[in-house]
């Protein structure tokens, strides 16, 4: 899904970083 694409790549990058912290296995 890409609902964050509308918010901008900047916010998307932040979300990806958060997911990385929540899911270090991935």
Domain that residue 12 falls in = 1-26
pLDDT band at 24 (very low <50, low <70, confident <90, very high): low
CB-CB contact of 1 with 8 (8 Å): no
Q: Percentage of the chain surpassing pLDDT 90?
A: 0
Number of domains in the chain: 1
pLDDT at 1: 55
Q: Of the candidates 26, 4, 2, 1, which has an alpha carbon nearest to the alpha carbon of residue 15?
A: 4
Residues with Cβ within 8 Å of residue 11, at least 6 apart in sequence: 4
Decide: pTM greater than 0.75: no
- Alpha-carbon torsion 10, 1, 18, 16, what sign? negative
């Amino acid at each position: 899904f890409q609902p964050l694409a509308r918010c901008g790549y900047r916010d998307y990058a932040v979300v990806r970083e958060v997911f990385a912290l929540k899911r270090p296995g991935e």
